[in-house]
């Protein structure tokens, strides 16, 4: 007997006893559905956490100054800035693609504006930092670079065109000079926090990120709502929002590093031009994170991955637990397939004996039973994948309705790779075939004469 007749007999038996065999495959279908659903959820969370919230291919490096704790106050004993020589040492570490210095604004600043949205101008204390425009070139392009200075006399803003404003010489002055807007970035986190929580608490309108691009606010550097700074005057600038980025400071405004450097020098000293407060280290691959972190720590620097390593380890542990539980469930489901096929073989002892008497070999009979198991596994695997996909759609819709507005919320919580679907089908088939092994051995064991006359 060839393989084709054996498969035809298996197909006939599946048609005849499909209800019993379908019940046997329910366990495998549910196990595969659980595995595919949970693994797709795990991969989706991993992509979001390690790609947006905790990017493992970018590390922030800073210098931690020694300090003395005295009565609840920490007194610094040394500098906590990075100089150009230290930045160059970071660039020489194997595995580092680029290094982007960051600089904080070391004087207080107050922003005022927003009347076009809120109806009246708002005023707030701000934290400001500066980053290299190349760090966000892939997100906002050249819009974040410092504009070319202008030397035009003006009386009002419209005299300066769309990219500049008229800075008057004084409150009573009618003449001024055109100055370009300083471009700023705001983090997605701050926008989503405002739209999700702050606007409700203060009864403010929701912001459309696309429509607020180009909005301008006045920035008064050297002023503070907390306390006055008697050392020197203030600098008034006008900034314009050019985009949103996860690489911007979570709470505050992010300016080009050249603008922050100029303000720090103006309110400090010339040494502030090369005093970087941290640096973003971009890696060739997340796999290089371990050696880069070790090299940076050897330079007595503090590396912040924002919890990326801990998140990756936790996700790996959770996925391992899911795999172990799934394997146990599949083992239990395989026993139901074994029981169903064993009963099927027992009920067909005389039929199998007739096939043996007509020339079928033990291999042919085994192939017939294995074919039935493969069919059960494929059907159960397909059903399990379909159930997981339907569950993912339902969860995504519920999440969009009930937990919308959370920071870093992705379009979908799930990431379904093609190999995950193929793996689900393969696992179902393997589980069904392994469960069918006792029935396979039983089907080819008895002597045909014994089964016919016994």
> How does DSSP classify residue 276?
B
pLDDT digits (tens, 9 = 90+) for 142-193: 889 988 877 788 888 888 888 888 887 666 667 788 888 999 999 888 888 8
Q: Is 222 left (phi over 0), alpha (psi -120 to 50) or beta?
A: left
Is 2 a residue whose pLDDT tops 60? no
Mean pLDDT value of segment 135-139: 88
pLDDT of residue 132: 92
Mean pLDDT value of segment 47-53: 64
CB-based contacts of 202-206 (< 8 A; 24+ apart in sequence): 204/118, 205/117, 205/118
φ, ψ (nearest 5 deg) of residue 76: -70, 140
> Which run of H or of E encompasses 357?
helix 349-357
Beta-strand pair 235-244/253-256: unpaired
pLDDT of residue 198: 79
For residue 404, count other CB atoms closer than 10 A to its CB. Answer: 11
pLDDT of residue 130: 93
Is 103 a residue whose pLDDT tops 80? yes
| DSSP one-letter string for 172-231 | T-S-EEEEEPEEEEE-HHHHHHIIIIIHHHHT-PPPPTTTSTT-EEEEEET--SS----S
* Rounded Cα–Cα distance for residues 293 and 237 (Å): 38
Quote the pTM value. 0.62
pLDDT digits (tens, 9 = 90+) for 207-220: 888 888 888 888 88
pLDDT band at residue 1 using 50, 70 and 90 as cut-offs: very low
Mean pLDDT value of segment 12-18: 58
- The angle, 0 to 180 degrees and rounded to 10, between the axes of the packed helices 418-443 and 362-402 is 150
């Amino acid at each position: 007997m060839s393989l084709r007749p054996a498969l035809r007999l298996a197909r006939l038996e599946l048609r005849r006893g499909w209800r019993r065999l379908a019940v046997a495959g329910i366990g495998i279908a549910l196990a595969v559905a659980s595995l595919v659903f949970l693994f797709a959820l795990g991969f989706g969370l991993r992509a979001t956490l390690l790609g947006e919230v905790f990017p493992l291919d970018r590390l922030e490096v800073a210098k931690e100054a020694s300090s003395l704790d005295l009565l609840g106050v920490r007194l610094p004993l040394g500098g906590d800035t990075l100089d150009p020589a230290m930045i160059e040492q970071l660039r020489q570490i194997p595995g580092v693609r680029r290094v982007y210095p960051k600089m904080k604004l070391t004087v207080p600043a107050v922003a005022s504006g927003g009347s076009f949205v809120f109806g009246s101008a708002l005023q707030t204390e701000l934290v400001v930092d500066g980053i290299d425009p190349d760090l966000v070139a892939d997100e906002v392009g050249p819009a974040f670079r410092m504009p070319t200075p202008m030397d035009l006399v003006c009386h009002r803003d419209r005299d300066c065109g769309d990219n500049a404003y008229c800075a008057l010489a004084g409150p009573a002055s009618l003449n001024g000079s055109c100055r370009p807007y300083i471009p700023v970035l705001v983090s997605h986190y701050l926008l989503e926090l405002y739209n999700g929580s702050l606007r409700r608490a203060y009864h403010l309108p929701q912001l459309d990120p696309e429509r607020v691009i180009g909005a301008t606010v006045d920035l008064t550097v050297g002023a503070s709502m907390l306390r006055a700074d008697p050392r020197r005057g203030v600098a008034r600038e006008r900034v314009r929002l050019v985009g949103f980025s996860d690489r911007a400071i979570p709470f505050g405004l992010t300016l080009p590093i050249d603008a922050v450097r100029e303000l720090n020098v103006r309110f400090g000293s010339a040494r502030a031009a090369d005093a970087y407060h941290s640096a973003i280290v971009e890696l060739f691959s997340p796999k290089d994170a371990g050696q880069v972190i070790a090299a940076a720590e050897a330079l007595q620097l503090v590396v912040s991955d924002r919890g990326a390593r801990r998140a990756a380890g936790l996700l790996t542990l959770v996925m391992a637990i899911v795999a172990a539980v799934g394997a146990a469930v599949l083992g239990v489901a395989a026993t139901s397939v074994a029981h169903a096929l064993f009963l099927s073989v027992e009920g067909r002892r005389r039929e199998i004996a007739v096939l043996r008497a007509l020339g079928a070999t033990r291999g042919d009979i085994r192939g017939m039973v294995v074919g039935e198991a493969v069919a059960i596994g494929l059907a159960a695997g397909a059903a399990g994948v379909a159930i997981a996909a339907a569950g993912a759609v339902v969860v995504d819709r519920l999440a969009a309705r009930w937990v919308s507005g959370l920071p870093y919320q992705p379009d979908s919580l799930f990431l379904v790779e093609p190999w995950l679907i193929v793996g689900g089908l393969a696992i179902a088939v393997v589980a069904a075939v392994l469960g069918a092994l006792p029935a396979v051995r039983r089907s080819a064991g008895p002597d045909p004469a014994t089964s016919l006359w016994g």
